[in-house]
Structures are given as C-alpha cells and as structure tokens.
Amino acid sequence: MAQRRSIATSTLTHWFSTRLGGIAIPVAATLLAFLIGGAIVAIDGTNPVTAYKAIFEGTGLNWFFPWVTGEVRADAARDLQQTLLIATPLMLTAIAVAFAFRCGLFNIGGQGQLWVGLVAAILVATHLEGIPRPLHILLALVASIVAGVIWGGIAGLLKASVGAHEVISTIMLNWIAIFGGKYLFELGGPLQGDQAFLPRSFEVFDSAKLWPIWGTIQALHSGLFIALFGLIVYHVLLNRTTLGYEVRAVGFNPEAAHYGGISVPRNYFLALGIAGGFAGLAGGVDVLGWRFDVDTSDFDADTVGFTGIAVALLGRNKAVGILLAGLLFGALQVGTSSRQLDPRLFDPALATDLATMIQALVIFFVGAELLIVYLWQAGRLVLPRRRAKSEAKP
C-alpha cells in the first residue's frame, strides 16, 4: 500500500514537472518574487510601479519598443548592451552548473573555474604579441577552457577516486582560485602589471580582444555569440552524443547506469571537467570582451559564477531556459546598477539590494516546487472533504 501511495505521488510529481513545472513554476516563481519585492519597496515608501518602471528602463529592454526614439533610444541601446554583456558569462557559468547537475552533481565551483579560466586567458592574451588576431583570441579562449577543465576536473577526480563530495571540494577550489588570483596580481605579485602601485594585471593586447559588435563605450562584444554557441553545444552534447547519454543515465540513476555498463566514476570526472570548461570559458570571454585586465579587488567582488547557479536553477538546466534566465538576471543586475538607474526615481543603493532580494526569492520559489506539489496534493485531499461537508448540509 505504501507502494501504491508512492506511485500516486510520483505520478503527481511527474505531472507537475512535465506539464506545469516545465514553464509554469519558473514563471510563477519569478512573478511571485517580483510581487514580494514590490511589496517591500512599497513598505519602504516608494511606489513599486515607479520603481519597477525605472529598473525596466535601466535594463534597456525598452529599446525593443518601436515608439522609443531619439535620446531615450540611444540611452536604451547603451543599457541593453550592458544587459547582454552581463548575461553572456552568466549563461556560460549556468551551463557549468547545469551540465554537472545532469550527472547528479552540484557544481558550486563555477566561480573558481571562471577565475582560473580568466587568469589563463590573461596569460595568453598578454603574451604572444604580434600573432594574428583570430589565432590570438582562439589560443586565449582555449587556454581558459583548459584551465577550467583542470579546475573542475580536480573536483571530478577527487569524487571519482575517493568519493570526496563535490560540493565541498568545489567550494574549496573556489577559495584557492580566489586567493591564488589575488596573489598573482598583488603588488609585487608574479603577474602584476606595469602600474607599480596598482594590484592589477597588464592589459591584454588588442590582438586578443574580442570584436565589438554593438556600441562604442564598453561595447557589447562577440562573446555573446560564443555564449549562445555554448548553449547549443550544451544541448547537443547532452542529447545527441553517447557521452550525454551516459551523463544523463548516471545523473538519473547511477545504479542502473553501472548495471548498463557505464562507468559512473568516469562520468563524474568528465561531467565536472566539462562543466569547468564552460565556466573557464566564461572567464576568458569576459576578460577578452570588456574587462581587458583584472584587479585583485575583482576577486572579492565578482559573483558571476555563483549567480550562474541561480540561472541554471531557474532555467531548469535547459538550454532555452538558461538563455531566458540569463537575460533576466543580467537585466536585473544592470537595471538596478547605480550607473543606469535614475536616482530621482529610485535610490540605486536600495535597488541593488532589491535585485539581490528578487534573485534570492526566485531561487527560493523554484526550490519550493515540492512544497507547491505538496500543497496541491493536500488540496486534493481536503477539497472533496469540504465538498462533502457542504453537501451534508440540508
């Protein structure tokens, strides 16, 4: 009987995750998060509609409205460039989370993998002067991928060989990457640049910079296409290759995979390695696209790798989902940044907090899917009873 009940539960859960959960839960979670964020803004004494309108205009998404013209449109274009610029690495770090997740692993190490990728790309991009631009870019990007693969692969190897939990090892590797990076570019550090009093790297050679595609000041760069291509690679790798088949089999049911002849440890290693490659690429694209150098303070401030976890969660580990969620989180970050937001409409300091809060709420509600399923089931159990009660009344 317990069996019968669990089957009923699993069909319900299944129904939710396919029918509703596919789109409805992320959308509902996002709406709910904005609603609660709005309520908090209202308590603070600002009209939430005004605040959200200001944030929306800060994202540059109003550029898509044909009636936006002239000066406003030019502003919108600049804002939209920034939104896409921020969304680019987010998508790549989200893939790093999603790919590992499909193998049943929780890769918290996107941030560290991004940093080693970024450092490797800087190394290549500040050397090899004079080689052709496409080759220089390619070499730098390959270096970032390799570094990320190694960083993720270490966690994978530990998992595969001695069963070290990937959450712990990737977190530790994050710290190693963060403090290792700070050491490299610190005053007197081995890779410090030419400005003696700045803990900063050399600027990358022009021949290693990604081509700008839209705008002039901090322009949107062609890394966006790399991220989009990464999404396609992710989808194809997972669904159209034997490697993806193995990864998914292990992720769903390691015991059945083992029984099927698939080496589970090998796939743990590969999945974390490949995931690391995507995150490393995010670092490479970022530094060749618009950062051009790195400062030790960046290692403290940047959270692209961690936000990638949220993007993957909201995007349900699907390529299209990651694209949309990456755009949403990128827009949220840009729309609330002090550079974009009109301080007369909504205090940017508050707005940044609001953005973080909304991100957290989105994740909370996506994670609470089981709670929603539970409530829905409870409703099914309770409702007929209520109906019966009202019928019982003469």
Partner 1 sequence: MAETPVVELRGITKRFPGVVANDRVDFDVARGEVHALLGENGAGKSTLVNVLYGLYHPDEGEILLDGKPVRINSPHDAIERGIGMVHQHFMLVPVMTVAENVVLATEPTRGPFLDMREAEKRVREVARALDFRIDPHARVETISVGQQQRVEILKALYRRAEILILDEPTAVLTPQEADELFEIVRTLAREGHAVVFITHKLHEVLAIADRITVLRRGKKVDTVPREGATEEGLARMMVGRDVVLSVEKGPAQPGKALLQVENLVVRDERGLEAVGGVSFEVRAGEIVGIAGVDGNGQSELIDALTGLRRPESGRIVVAGKDVTRASPRSALDAGVGHIPEDRQRRGLVLDFTLAENIALHDYAKPPASRFGWLYPRRLVERAGGLLAEFDVRGGEAETLASSLSGGNQQKLVLAREISRDPRVLVAAQPTRGLDVGAIEFVHNRLVKERDEGRAILLVSFELDEILSLSDRILVLYEGAVVGEYAPDVSEQELGIAMTGGGREQAA
Binding residues (CB under 8 A) for partner 1: these are 1-5, 8, 10-12, 14-15, 239-246, 248-249, 252-253, 255-261, 263, 381, 384-385, 388
* Distance in Å, CB of 144 to partner 1, minimum: 24
* Distance in Å, CB of 256 to partner 1, minimum: 5
Which residue number, 1 or 43, has a Cβ lying nearer to partner 1?
Answer: 1
Which residue number, 15 or 175, has a Cβ lying nearer to partner 1?
Answer: 15
* Distance in Å, CB of 270 to partner 1, minimum: 12
* Distance in Å, CB of 392 to partner 1, minimum: 10
Which residue number, 14 or 165, has a Cβ lying nearer to partner 1?
Answer: 14
* Paired tokens of 269: 């290693």
* 3-class DSSP assignment, residue 214: strand
Which residue number, 2 or 301, has a Cβ lying nearer to partner 1?
Answer: 2
Which residue number, 2 or 43, has a Cβ lying nearer to partner 1?
Answer: 2
* Distance in Å, CB of 242 to partner 1, minimum: 5
* 144 contacts 117 by C-beta, under 8 angstroms: yes
Which residue number, 135 or 236, has a Cβ lying nearer to partner 1?
Answer: 236
**Could you give the dihedral angle defined by the CA atoms of residues 227, 230, 231 and 236, in that order, rounded to the nearest 10 degrees?**
170
* 3-class DSSP assignment, residue 213: strand
The whole-angstrom distance between residue 333's C-alpha and the CA centroid of its chain comes to: 12
CA atoms within 13 A on the CB side of 286: 31
Distance CA 354, CA 50 (A): 14
CA atoms within 13 A on the CB side of 15: 11
* Paired tokens of 30: 């996002």
* Distance in Å, CB of 258 to partner 1, minimum: 6
* Distance in Å, CB of 3 to partner 1, minimum: 7
* Distance in Å, CB of 210 to partner 1, minimum: 30
Which residue number, 212 or 254, has a Cβ lying nearer to partner 1?
Answer: 254
Distance CA 264, CA 391 (A): 56
* Paired tokens of 21: 């959960």
Distance CA 87, CA 109 (A): 19
Which residue number, 52 or 245, has a Cβ lying nearer to partner 1?
Answer: 245
Phi, psi of 213 (to 5 degrees): -120, -20
Cα 148 to Cα 24, 113, 197, 205, 223, distances in angstroms? 34, 5, 30, 22, 17
Q: Which residues pair with 214 in a beta bridge?
A: 220
* Distance in Å, CB of 321 to partner 1, minimum: 17
Distance CA 379, CA 193 (A): 63
Which residue number, 344 or 389, has a Cβ lying nearer to partner 1?
Answer: 389
Buried b (16+ CB within 10 A) or exposed e, 214-245: ebeeebbbbbbebbeebbebbbebbeeeeebe
The residues near 320 (Cβ < 8 Å, ≥ 6 apart) are 231
Which residue number, 69 or 239, has a Cβ lying nearer to partner 1?
Answer: 239
Distance CA 69, CA 90 (A): 30
* Distance in Å, CB of 255 to partner 1, minimum: 5
